[in-house]
Amino acid sequence: MQSFVTGLWVLPVIFTLFNFTANWLAYLLGLPQHCGLQENVADFRKSVQSITLNPVFEFLYWHMNWHTEHHMYAGVPCYNLKKLHQAVKDDMPEPRSLVGVWREMLETWERQMIDPTYQFDTPLPATAQFKRHRISEEGETSIGELAPKGLS
């Protein structure tokens, strides 16, 4: 009510309208990156997927379309995720297009209607390597090598 009295009626519109107008983009891009993929696996490449986007959507989504890389190396800033993808792409599944990932997710959903335990198994390239590091007996923290020396 004060915004109408002061003449700043546009402020509530600016701060609340975004939730109704731009939320569709987060839903469109975020949902297929996890939906229908394997759960409780040690390899992030099986439970998360990256997608290719046009530069505008990639910028608006804070480069989180490189989602597998984000999960594998959470300390990398969002603006460097594409560079990280280029560095590790030989060990990564081929990123899918937005249309392709939605089509794949809907096919998985249809299979889950018949078999509720079905989870999509992301194919890895022949060059893919998986090296799991053993957690030390001293109780390494969840951030591992990123932890300050006193914590690990």
pLDDT tens, residue by residue, 21-78: 767 888 899 999 999 999 989 888 999 999 999 999 999 899 999 999 999 999 999 9
- Percent of the chain at pLDDT > 90 equals 60
pLDDT attached to residue 50: 97
- Provide the whole-model pTM: 0.72
Report how far residue 99's alpha carbon sits from residue 137's, in angstroms, rounded to the nearest whole number: 45
Q: Is 96 helix (H, G, I), strand (E, B) or coil?
A: strand
Q: Looking at the predicted structure, is the pLDDT value of residue 151 above 50? A: no
In order of 49, 61, 133, the CA distances from 129 in angstroms are 17, 29, 13
Name, in order, each residue with C-beta under 8 angstroms of 83's C-beta and a sequence gap of 6 or more. none
Report how far residue 67's alpha carbon sits from residue 123's, in angstroms, rounded to the nearest whole number: 16
Q: Mind listing the pLDDT tens digit for each residue in 45-57? A: 999 999 999 999 9
Q: Looking at the predicted structure, is the pLDDT value of residue 137 above 60? A: no
